[in-house]
Structure 1
Amino acid sequence: MIRQLLRLWPHAAEVRRLTAGYAVVGVLQGALLLALVPLLRALLADPARTGEAFAWLAVILGLGGLYLAAQARVRVAAYRTANRVMRDLQHSAGDHLRLLPLGWFVGNASGRLARAVAQSAPTAAGTVSHIWPELVASIATPAAVIVGVCLLDWRMGIAFLVAVPLAMLVLRRSGPVVRRTQADMDAASAEAAGRTIEFAQAQPVLRSTGRALAGFAPLERALEGQRRAFRRSLTLHTVPQFAYTAIVQLGFTAVLLAGVWLAVGGQLAAADAVALLVLAARFVEPLAVVANLFGAIRAAEVAIDRMGDILEAEPLPEPAHPREPAPGSGAAIEFDAVDFAYRDVPVLTGLTLSVPAGASCALVGPSGSGKTTILRLIARFWDVDGGAVRLGGVDVRELSTATLMERVAIVFQDTYLFDDSIEENLRIAAPEATPAQLRTAAAAARLDQVVDRLPDGWSTRVGEGGTSLSGGERQRVAIARALLKDAPVVLLDEATAALDAENEAAVAAGMRLLSAQGKTVLVIAHRLSTVTGMDQIAFVEDGRVVEQGGHERLLRARGRYADFWNRRTGAPAALPAEAGKTR
């Protein structure tokens, strides 16, 4: 457990100091318990030895004072270190998330990510402030007692020791099983948390379809899976805990039998036997604590691993000597025989595409053909498996992340807005923008129409994710943000999908303005009515571009695009080339 933590929080010296401090606390507690033996011997053997009893009582009080002082000192140090662990892990996670490729977030649910950062770091801190201290002390105390008893009577020392190896064997053998069940339980809890968030976010859809009272099957399955995981965990955890407790109690019985046998045989004074049996009763307590810590230790290991999944995730490699796009062609996009597979499933195969700087291009094709992946590879969500993606003639892998992100603005289909004002959501793209620049961008995207009808205007808070705005209004914010950023390349992922006519017109106007400003605009088109004015249309099918050209030329070619257009629009078959020229 500590080795796992030190892998993520490399401050071994501090942990060693804490471990030594807790070991001292455990030894002092063991010495305190051992001091009961001569005290009881003096009281039970001869009532006249009260002076000796008072001397040992003074020793016990002194040891008790040292024990309390040492425990207070290391406890404060432990809490201080735990706060550092939690702060450092959370800050490290935040810093590391900024370095991870955007594709990493595609495969990681927000619920799991939030659980890792919000819960795993405190759990890791708890290993330093609570779990590890109790474990070290619970081992050091019995060890000190066994050594002291062996010095008093080696036979009783063996009796004290006999149960320890068996108890440790049970814990060692059951450890992997308990850890697996803890991991299953953690995964089930994360799934249930994610589905609960999804259920809350889906309320508008569920209510509009009359399904709000009919239950939510994914959440019900996740909760049932969580209950099954907890039941299985309790079953598998209970057996080793019972076995461990039984062995510890059998060890106490062995001490009891050994003490009686030696006392009856005259080999051990009755006073010593009683004192050692009292000591044995206290000796069992720290061993029992280890059993109680067992599940907590395994849960902490799972939580630390969960944090490790973030901190040890590999960012995309940064170039040792970053290049800059060539002047004059810094916004040209080129895919050169690109191969890409997502989780071993081929998505793009030998895809070739070229978009000149300042041109607009629409990606059209059936669902699942790889259009979104094309946009994401330009923004380097992932690295390609073969071929190259170039921006301004330079492979995106040879651009620094900062350079790439400066040159690319992305408008996703599902625009996310921060729970802040409309103005602040725009300023994310350009914090130093003047009010005039802000309002110019808003007017170009027709966002000013939205702002004018809101009671708080630019100061209107948009809610978490932008929920207080409609989908079309959120897209207007996204388009305005792209205009304000003034990046030479703009990527729009189905920006007009599912919009009403008014919002579609507003977003389309923003797209045309981006193109008119000389931006290289690459659009995934859901509504074919938005692609007819594009400089190029690339028809994507089965992970490759099968046709590329202007709208009219592709219709006259009567290829895959023409067939797709006719099926989507219900138009008659494409006209012959001669007829097309006179249209």
Structure 2
Amino acid sequence: MAGPRAQHRLAARQPGRVRRRPTRGRARGPVRGRGGRPMIRQLMSVVGPAERRLLRKVLALQVLGAVLQAVAFVLIVPVLERLLGDEPDQAWPWVWALAAAAAAQSVVHYWATKAGFQAGAALSRVLHHRIGDHVSELPLGWFGPTRTGELSTLTTQSVMGIMRVPGYLFRPLIGGLLTPAAVVVLMYLFDWRLALAATCTAPFIAVVLRWSTQRTATADRLRAGTMTEAANRVIEYAEVQPVLRAFPGSRAAGGSRLDEALSAQRDAGRQVMRAGVPGQVGFTLTVQAAFTVILVYGTYLALGGSLDVPELLALLVLAARFVEPMAEAANLGSALRSASAALARVQRVLAEEPLPEPEHPAHPAGTDIEFDAVEFAYDNGRKVLDGVGFRIPEHTMTALIGPSGSGKTTVARLIARFWDVHGGAVRIGGVDVRELPAEDLMSRISVVFQDVYLFEGTIEDNIRAGRPEATDEEVRRAATLARVDEIAARLPGGWSTQVGAGGAGLSGGERQRISIARALLKDAPIVLLDEATSSLDPANERAVQEALSELTRDRTLLVIAHRLQTVRAADQILVLDGGHIVQRGTHDELIAQEGRYADFWAERSRSRGWRLAKTPVAN
């Protein structure tokens, strides 16, 4: 989904030690959308120069088309005046002028429609690129439990709604505003009194339009929230199918959450209808009332003799053209509000601040890792690390152990700078990771997490993702070290076997070995392994341990593990508990001390001989 890194870098650098990473045209200005102009400004704020030029072209063509339509409408007046008058033959010049205006309007309409569809496709492409690029730069802490559904809705329904604006909504929006205005202005050429009557109705129409929009604004926001929640529940329901089927009693709970979300979405849709229908009806009645005022006033003038009947009929036809575009725009009010709300949601995501980038990048002197009085807490306020300090010398293996929830994975992710620390510093080669550009930092680190995710594609594609320019020989060597060659050998498709979405076609151990091969191929000087061997059987674990041992010869390795052999092979062991490093040293040093590590070792040693025993059943 991410596009070229050079696209839409519109945000200027900020002074100081760090600059904000460019966000490809980050949204600027207020998030509004009640009228056409604010929505157009919204569109212009979320696209790049090329798309803005295309949108301006569409706008210019639509404006020209609206003016030509108004001219054609006005030319009906002299045509009808002469046809209904004493000399109908004099209507021909006006008929030809009307035909020319209508033909010109048709040609412009064709060009505008074609450009509108092109602009819609361009909007879809650039918004998907921008959202993908920007999301990839946000701190990991931004990705809360609701983000999956929110991003799913944003990249599908929201972007599709925005795509429709240039091709489908610009014409009625611009025509509903500009054509009536042009008609009224041109009416002054024929009868200033009826033109003034039409002008006086405009403020009332504007007030009712604003009222109807405000009625549905709150309901639209509520519906957007329920759509996101429903998307989250649908994704959750699909992901937990194994649990629901293994434990039938849980189906009721899983299904009820989905039912509640879908019911809330349905109720929100009904609320939008209840709020929108009165506003739409009120606007339609106001527009018809405006036409009635012009009709009654024109009849009064005709009965008084100050306005000829043919001219009255012609002007009434023109007055009908005055109200028709506004009524058409009113019928699309819901679509306009939805598109505006979708634009606002995109703007909010693009306005999220990415991790700061250094103004003057530094260059590490090595690959040693240092935590200096690091403090970190998640958004829920729970403090995970409190003054943590340690050093991992380069070209060594450090094992990090501790109870669940002690912050082990957080340590690994702070090294990779998925978050910024709240206190202290994390350094690589003596340089604060905040002073390293993101691409430079990640080029130095390979990460294998406990929760492995594979991209949809082949086994070879997923390994090659570690270093796309690698040769086939290098890919095979990394795969052999992680024993992925055995997986490819027994599968019918071999290296071209499709792994499925997220690696669903493979077992957990197979996915983990492919992930390790990907990290090996990247050949980064720092390797972070979070429970990397937890899903491997003993034979494959031993093979992977041999590969990891080879890595330690010239790489800095941090291993989060509970396996005894992994921990024992480490050059240094750190015990994390309660947000602090409570013990550190080698295996022999720590086993001789009383404390967490000795307890951990004793417990793990006892569990090695653990067996299931059949309990006798009493007669």
Report the TM-score, using the length of structure 1 for normalisation. Answer: 0.88
Aligned to 2:66: 26
**Range with greater deviation from structure 2 (172-181 or 288-297):** 172-181
What whole-Å deviation, never above 9, does each CA across 1:383-418 have from its counterpart, x for those lacking one? 222211011221111222232112111001121112
Aligned to 2:123: 85
**Range with greater deviation from structure 2 (517-526 or 63-72):** 517-526
Q: CA deviation at 1:3?
A: 0.9
What whole-Å deviation, never above 9, does each CA across 1:187-228 have from its counterpart, x for those lacking one? 322332333233223323322333686453442232222222
**Range with greater deviation from structure 2 (248-257 or 7-16):** 7-16
Q: CA deviation at 1:78?
A: 2.9
Give secondary structure in 1 for the equivalent of 2:569.
Answer: coil
Task: Determine the C-alpha separation between the residues in 1 that align with 2:528 and 2:476.
Answer: 22
Task: Determine the C-alpha separation between the residues in 1 that align with 2:546 and 2:504.
Answer: 24
Q: CA deviation at 1:373?
A: 1.4
What whole-Å deviation, never above 9, does each CA across 1:60-117 have from its counterpart, x for those lacking one? 2222112212222333333333333333333344444454455555677344334433
Task: Determine the C-alpha separation between the residues in 2 that align with 1:533 and 1:44.
Answer: 103
Give secondary structure in 1 for the equivalent of 2:574.
Answer: strand
User: Which of 226, 241, 244 is the equivalent residue of 1:206?
Assistant: 244
Aligned to 1:525: 561
The residue identity in structure 2 corresponding to 1:335 is: F
Compared with structure 1, are the counterparts of its residues 245 and 423 closer, same or farther at alpha carbon in structure 2 (3 Å cutoff)?
A: same
Is the aligned partner of 1:261 residue 2:300?
A: yes
What whole-Å deviation, never above 9, does each CA across 1:332-365 have from its counterpart, x for those lacking one? 1111011223326233222212222222223222
Q: CA deviation at 1:473?
A: 0.8
Query: What pairs up with 1:175-254 in 2 under 5 angstroms?
Result: 175-176=213-214, 178-210=216-248, 214=252, 216-254=255-293
User: Which of 420, 437, 443 is the equivalent residue of 1:400?
Assistant: 437
Task: Determine the C-alpha separation between the residues in 1 that align with 2:319 and 2:420.
Answer: 64
Task: Determine the C-alpha separation between the residues in 1 that align with 2:463 and 2:286.
Answer: 66
Is the aligned partner of 1:109 residue 2:147?
A: yes
The count of residues paired between Structure 1 and Structure 2 equals 565
Preserved contact between residue 496 and residue 526 of structure 1 (Cα < 8 Å): no
Preserved contact between residue 445 and residue 509 of structure 1 (Cα < 8 Å): no
Aligned to 1:534: 570
Task: Determine the C-alpha separation between the residues in 2 that align with 1:506 and 1:205.
Answer: 32
Task: Determine the C-alpha separation between the residues in 1 that align with 2:172 and 2:198.
Answer: 21
Preserved contact between residue 472 and residue 499 of structure 1 (Cα < 8 Å): yes
Compared with structure 1, are the counterparts of its residues 382 and 53 closer, same or farther at alpha carbon in structure 2 (3 Å cutoff)?
A: same
Is the aligned partner of 1:444 residue 2:481?
A: yes
Aligned to 1:127: 165
**Range with greater deviation from structure 2 (29-38 or 210-219):** 210-219
Give secondary structure in 1 for the equivalent of 2:97.
Answer: helix
Any stretches of 5+ residues in structure 2 without a counterpart?
1-38, 608-619
Aligned to 1:579: none
Preserved contact between residue 116 and residue 306 of structure 1 (Cα < 8 Å): yes
Preserved contact between residue 462 and residue 468 of structure 1 (Cα < 8 Å): yes
Query: What pairs up with 1:16-55 in 2 under 5 angstroms?
Result: 16-46=56-86, 49-55=87-93
Task: Determine the C-alpha separation between the residues in 1 that align with 2:214 and 2:538.
Answer: 59
Is the aligned partner of 1:289 residue 2:328?
A: yes
Preserved contact between residue 22 and residue 74 of structure 1 (Cα < 8 Å): yes
Compared with structure 1, are the counterparts of its residues 8 and 359 closer, same or farther at alpha carbon in structure 2 (3 Å cutoff)?
A: same
Give secondary structure in 1 for the equivalent of 2:419.
Answer: coil
What whole-Å deviation, never above 9, does each CA across 1:474-533 have from its counterpart, x for those lacking one? 111111222222222111222244555555555555444434x34322222355674343
Aligned to 1:60: 98
The residue identity in structure 2 corresponding to 1:410 is: V
Aligned to 1:339: 375
The residue identity in structure 2 corresponding to 1:7 is: S
Give secondary structure in 1 for the equivalent of 2:188.
Answer: helix
**Range with greater deviation from structure 2 (103-112 or 216-225):** 103-112
Identity of aligned residues (%): 46
CA RMSD of aligned residues (A): 2.8
Preserved contact between residue 203 and residue 212 of structure 1 (Cα < 8 Å): no
Give secondary structure in 2 for the equivalent of 1:545.
Answer: strand
Task: Determine the C-alpha separation between the residues in 2 that align with 1:528 and 1:300.
Answer: 57
Compared with structure 1, are the counterparts of its residues 425 and 234 closer, same or farther at alpha carbon in structure 2 (3 Å cutoff)?
A: same
The residue identity in structure 2 corresponding to 1:303 is: A
Task: Determine the C-alpha separation between the residues in 2 that align with 1:193 and 1:297.
Answer: 23
The residue identity in structure 1 corresponding to 2:392 is: V
Task: Determine the C-alpha separation between the residues in 1 that align with 2:546 and 2:264.
Answer: 48
Report the TM-score, using the length of structure 2 for normalisation. Answer: 0.83
